[in-house]
Amino acid sequence: MDAKLVLGDEEWRRRLTAEEYEVLRGHGTERPWTGCFVGTHEPGTYLCAGCGSPLFRSGEKFESGTGWPSFTRPVTPGAVVEHRDLSHGMVRTEVRCGRCDGHLGHVFPDGPPPTGLRYCLNSVALRHRPDP
């Protein structure tokens, strides 16, 4: 993994669109079924929209029926980090980029085998790099 990327708020606002900033830096959530990666199946790697770090492989993507792109596991153990999220009157596990700490979404213990995990992510927090 590349070195940690730490930028000031002003630099993040310059680098990101308003929607990317709201999700990645403001811990927002896009509306279900509106993201560009819901229902996509192109081979490749999903990268952090904030820093370009590889996060998930397309082979780990599955249709969860939730309205957000879902994956069973990250590309490497340190690609994402987890944080306890007590917002909105719930206890959830937030998922952030391991490099830039950008908010990606949440992970839930109701996914398919082999991990039993569902990484439920915001499309706006991701970029797709197709396989060559």
* Residue 68 contacts residue 123 (beta carbons within 8 Å): yes
Catalytic site includes residue 36: no
Is residue 3 situated within a structural domain?
Answer: no
Distance of CA 88 to the CA centre of its chain: 19
Is residue 41 situated within a structural domain?
Answer: yes
Judge if the upstream peptide bond of residue 113 is cis by omega within 30 degrees of 0.
no
Is residue 44 situated within a structural domain?
Answer: yes
Evaluated on CA atoms 34, 55, 129, 9, the torsion sign reads positive
Q: Which residues pair with 108 in a beta bridge?
A: 118
- CATH number where 70 lies: 2.170.150.20
User: Per residue of the chain (132 residues), what is the pLDDT tens digit?
Assistant: 578 999 999 999 999 999 999 999 999 999 999 999 999 999 999 999 999 999 999 999 999 999 999 999 999 999 999 999 888 788 889 999 999 999 999 999 999 999 999 999 999 999 999 998
The domain in which residue 97 lies consists of 9-130
Structural domain tally of the chain? 1
Calpha distance 122→132 (Å, rounded): 25
Is residue 115 situated within a structural domain?
Answer: yes
Is residue 2 situated within a structural domain?
Answer: no
Q: How far is the CA of 92 from the CAs of 52, 68, 75, 105, in angstroms?
A: 25, 16, 22, 10
